[in-house]
């Protein structure tokens, strides 16, 4: 099997809000040899889209840079409005190893090369986060993003928040980007049958690791404007340390306190099969459960 890396860049635009800019990013993602655009998800309330790309290390590095360049040319953060926290046109670029011959350390080096090139050629500064982080507090994406685009100029002047690449100032319209390497996570969202955003925020705070909730869980409460419902939006950074069913059951219990129900869930991007198998084992109460591990291979035959 060829060496494969996954990249999941997040952009501060959506198909629903600006279809032309969105399509421009899709076109760039499909134009780079050695990688495949595996999945695209867009949300108008978040005003954000998430691309999932898989390919060779060289192809993934190139497409990450080209997408950041296109975003900087077409997205103006001074005009951006959306429910999801954000600090840049290209908000985050994570690199994730997908085959055994690619390590997290390899992806860390990739993140540094891409961050340097983005600064050298585009003048967009960046924080290194997760396994690429140069300081403990920068492992957490939420800590890097705190202040968002509007508060970032002041934040960068603080002693501990100089960019890892670039000067202590944001790009005037593209902001700043978080770039890093990490193991697979699960982007897991839970929708509630209420339009009360405070309920979702309170639940998110109760379960969020940084607020004393579950370890390995990041969570925020947001509104899904097009459906007029509140959502608990989560990143499960270690789905074995904190399984998906832990999150679901705790949110259900907390929602019950407010007299609301869970009406649905969603998963954004690729998800390790084991994360879902663990849920099946838990809810079906299978005794002496043994799962034959299926290995999913991504082939480069159809890649340009």
State how far the Cα of 119 lies from the Cα of 65, in Å rounded to an integer.
10
Q: Which of 103, 78, 105, 99 is nearest to 89 (CA)?
A: 78
Whether 84 is catalytic: yes
CB 101 within 8 A of CB 49: no
Block residue for tokens 């193991």: 183
State how far the Cα of 276 lies from the Cα of 59, in Å rounded to an integer.
29
H helices of the chain, where? Answer: 19-29, 57-74, 104-122, 141-145, 148-155, 197-207, 244-257, 273-284
From 46, 84, 292, 299, active-site residue: 84
Q: Which of 253, 246, 218, 245 is nearest to 232 (CA)?
A: 218
Catalytic positions are 84
């Amino acid at each position: 099997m060829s060496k494969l890396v996954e990249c999941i860049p997040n952009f501060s635009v959506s198909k629903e809000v600006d279809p032309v800019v969105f399509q421009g990013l899709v076109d760039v993602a499909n134009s780079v040899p050695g990688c495949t655009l595996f999945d695209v998800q867009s949300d108008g309330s978040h005003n954000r889209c998430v691309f999932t790309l898989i390919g060779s290390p060289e192809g993934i590095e190139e497409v990450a840079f080209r997408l950041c360049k296109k975003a900087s040319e077409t997205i103006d953060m001074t005009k951006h409005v959306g429910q999801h926290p954000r600090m840049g046109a290209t908000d985050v670029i994570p690199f994730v190893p997908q085959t055994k011959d690619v390590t997290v350390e390899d992806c860390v080096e990739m993140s540094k090369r891409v961050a340097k090139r983005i600064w050298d050629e585009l003048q967009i500064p960046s924080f290194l986060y997760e396994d690429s982080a140069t300081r403990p507090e920068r492992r957490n994406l939420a800590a890097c993003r705190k202040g968002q685009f509007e508060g970032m100029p002041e934040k960068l002047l603080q002693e501990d928040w100089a960019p890892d690449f670039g000067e202590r100032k944001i790009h005037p319209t593209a902001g700043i980007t978080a770039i890093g390497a990490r193991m697979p996570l699960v982007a897991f969202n839970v929708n509630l049958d209420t339009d009360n955003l405070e309920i979702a925020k309170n639940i998110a705070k109760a379960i969020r690791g940084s607020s004393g909730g579950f370890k390995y869980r990041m969570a925020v409460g947001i509104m899904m404007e097009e459906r007029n419902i509140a959502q608990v939006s989560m990143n499960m950074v270690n789905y074995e340390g904190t399984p998906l069913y832990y999150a679901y059951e705790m949110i259900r219990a907390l929602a019950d306190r407010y007299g609301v129900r869970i009406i649905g869930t969603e998963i954004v991007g690729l998800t390790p099969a084991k994360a879902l198998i663990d849920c099946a084992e838990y809810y079906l109460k299978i005794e002496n459960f043994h799962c034959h591990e299926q290995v999913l291979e991504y082939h480069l035959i159809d890649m340009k």
